[in-house]
Chains A and B, each alone.
Chain A
C-alpha cells in the first residue's frame, strides 16, 4: 500500500487520514481474526496416529482453511513460513464419542438441564435432539478438553423410544454451528431400563416389541396426510432413511432387536450389548455395527454380565465396533470416551483397535468417515494432541483442534 501517492496527489488530509484509518483497521482486524479463526497451522507430532495407515514417526500435519492440507513425515511435508507451528508428542484424529447424552443432559443434574428424557409417553420418535441441544453446556467443553471433537448425542436409554439423536462437533456458539447431522438415528431401548412400571405400558419385554411392531405396521400404511410427526419418522425408518440405535443389554433383548430388524428390513445399530459374548455369532451374522457399553460401565441388573473385554471380543469376531461414554444418571455425569478406550486397550484390544473405536470406526458407524475419524488430506482438521501415550492415566491432552481452529489449549 503506497499512501504517499495519495499525499503527493492533491488529496486532502482528511481523505488521507480516512484511508489510513481504514487500512489500519483492516490490518488489525486481519491480524486478530485470521490468526485464531482461519489460521494455517502445522502440527508436528513425534507419533501421528493417522488411523489411515501405519502411525507416522516425526510427522507433520498441515491445516489450511479448516481442512487437512497435507500429512506425512517431516522430510515429506515442508512447513510454509507463515504457518503457526504446534508440537506434540502424540497426535491423533479428533476423538469421536459414538453415543452420549451430553448437551441434552447437563452437568448440574437439575430439572432445568436434564433434557434427554420426556416421560409423558414411551414412544416419541418425533423428539429432535437439536431442539434440546445446548452447545455451551459445561460437559461439552469438558470432553473437548480431552480431545473429543465429535459427539453422537441424543435421548437417554430409559424409555422405549425416547427420541432422536444428532451428531455435533464439540465446538460452536450454538446448535447450528455445531451440528453435523441434525437427525442421525432414533433411540430405541429394550429391556429392564425401558419398562414403564406402575401398570403402564410397556410393562414387559414382549410388550415392548409388540408396541414397536404396531408402530411400524401402522407407519407402513401412512400416506403422508394428514401430517403426523411420529408416522413421518417411522416411515423414514421403514424406508431406510434413518437407522434405529437399539440399546439392548441382555442376550434376549439383542435377539429381539435382530428379529425386529429382520421382520421390517430395518437398518439398526446395536448399542450397549453387555451380553454380546453369548450371541456373538448372531450379531456377526446380522452385519450390524455395535456401539459397545463403556469399558468401566457398572455391572448390575441387566448389565451384570458385562465384561471389560466385550469390545475386544466383538472386534475379534470381525464386527465393526465403537465405544461410547453412554448415559449416566448421577456421578460422574459423563464418562470420557478416551478413558473407556484406554481400559479397552488394557483388556484385550490392541492400542490401534482401541483408538479406532473412538476415531475411524466410530466415524464409519456414524456414516461420517468421509469427513472425520482419520488424518487424511481433505478431511476436517480435527486433531487431538497429547504429551504421551493418550491412553496412559498420567498423560495429558495438550490441545484440541476443530475445523482447523485451536479450541482447547488447557492441559487436561
Chain B
C-alpha cells in the first residue's frame, strides 16, 4: 500500500507544481453562450487564476504557447447557473422564540459536506443563495455560496466582498407561513405581519440615527444590538431582502414595505406574479420564480402558473429562477428555463434568468452571471441546447476548477442517483483508491 501512497504524493506534487505556475487554460471549439453578448460558434474561453481572461474565437483570442487546451467540440458552454433560493446544506435559521430574528445566521448551521451541495454541482449550479425557512416574518440571514469542490467547512464556500464581509442576504416572508394564530408573539393576520415588520424597521432607523449622531464619539454609540445591526445593513442596501411571497395582495404588501423603507428586495416565489406583473415592473423590483408542475399544494399557490416568467418579462421586470431545493431537485434546475419558454418566455430572457438575473439579485453582477473577461470562471459544459430535455450537464467549473465531470463514475452516480448516491462522500475519495485502513 505504501507504493500507492507514494504515487499519490507524486501526483499531488505534480498537481501543485502545475497549479503553482498558473498556466492559462483554453476551452476550445464549443458553442459559447456568454449571456452578455451574442453566442459564439467555435468559441474560445480562456481561463487563468480562476478568472476569465478572454472570450471570443480564433480571430479575436490569441493563445500563448504555454496554454493548456481542452477541446469541447460539439458542446455548449454557458455561465454557471445561479440558484437564488435553495435549502441545500441542511441549514437552519430562526427558532420558535420570535417571529423576527435578523441576528440569526444560516452560516452557523450549514453542513459544507452535505451531499446536497454535490447534487447541485451536477445540475450546473455554481452559486447559491442558501436560505432559512419561511415560517417566520424574518428567519434570519441567508448566505451566498460558491459550490467549490472539496469543501470541508462553511468557510470554504463563502464569497468575500471588497469590504471584507462575506456575501449574504436576509430572509423575510409574508402570507400564511409565518402566521400562527394563538402562537404567542407570532402574527395572527396579514395586517399584523406587516405591522410587526414595520415596527422593527422603524427601530432599525432609530438605531442607525443614533450611530450617525454619535459620529466619532464612541461613548455616544448605542449598545451593540445584533438584530439592529443586521437590519441597519438592510436599510443601507448592503443586505438584500429575499421576501417569500405568494398571493398578489402579499406581493403588493412587499412593494409597499419596500417603498416605505427603501431596502433592496427580491420577490421570492411570487406565485401570483402574473396578476400584478405591471405593478412589480413599475416598482423596479426583481422576481425569483419557481417552476412547479401543478397548481396548489397549499391555498396560497392555487393560482401559481408557469406563465409568471413570460408575464414578468412582458411587463419589463427582471426575472430569475430558483429551485427551493428540496421542493425541486437542484439536478433539474436547468429545466426551469425550458418550462418558462414553453409558457411564453423568450429563450434569451430565460437563460438570462438562470444566470445574469440571479447575479444582479445577489448584488454580484460584477463577478458572476455572464462569461466576460475579468469575471469569475464559473461555467458549465452542456451536451447540447440548454433548453432541450435531452441535454446533460457534463461539466461544472467554479473559479477555473472542475467540480463536476459526468465522465467520472462517482460524479455520475451523484448526477443520476443510485445506491450510495446520497451518502456524504469522503472528500476526494477517488484519490484514495486502494487505501485499506492501517496498511498504508
Contacts and interface: CB of A to CB of B under 8 A. Distances in A.
Interface in B304-341: 326-327, 329, 332, 335, 337-339, 341
Contacts of A330: 297-298, 327
Interface stretch (B4-12, B287-295, B367-375): B287-295
Interface of B: 292-299, 301-302, 326-327, 329, 332, 335, 337-339, 341-342, 387-390, 392, 416-422
A208 B99 CA distance: 42
B interface SS class = loop
A296 B298 contact: no
Nearest to B413: A307
A109 B298 contact: yes
A305 B342 CA distance: 31
Interface residues of A, number: 41
Interface in A158-193: none
A391 interface: yes
Given A345-B389, A346-B390, A394-B341, A106 B417 contact: no
Given A304-B422, A345-B389, A347-B416, 13 more contacts: A107-B295, A107-B302, A108-B302, A109-B298, A109-B299, A277-B418, A305-B422, A330-B297, A330-B327, A331-B297, A333-B295, A336-B294, A393-B387
Given A305-B422, A331-B301, A346 B392 contact: yes
Contacts of B390: 345-346, 391
Contact of A394 (B298, B387, B421): B387
A106 B294 CA distance: 11
B336 to A, nearest CB: 9
A278 B421 CA distance: 14
A394 B385 CA distance: 12
Contacts of A392: 338, 388-389
B297 A109 contact: yes
A331 B327 contact: yes
Nearest 3 A/B pairs, CB to CB: A393-B338, A107-B296, A331-B297
A395 interface: yes
A335 B52 CA distance: 40
Contacts of B327: 330-331
A107 B342 CA distance: 22
17 contacts: A107-B294, A277-B418, A296-B329, A300-B422, A304-B422, A305-B421, A309-B417, A330-B298, A330-B327, A333-B296, A342-B389, A343-B332, A392-B338, A392-B388, A393-B335, A393-B339, A393-B387
Contacts of A278: 419
Nearest to B293: A332
A308 B296 CA distance: 25
B389 A343 contact: yes
A299 interface: yes
Contacts of B389: 342-343, 345-346, 391-393
A222 interface: no
A395 B342 contact: yes
A110 interface: yes
A142 interface: yes
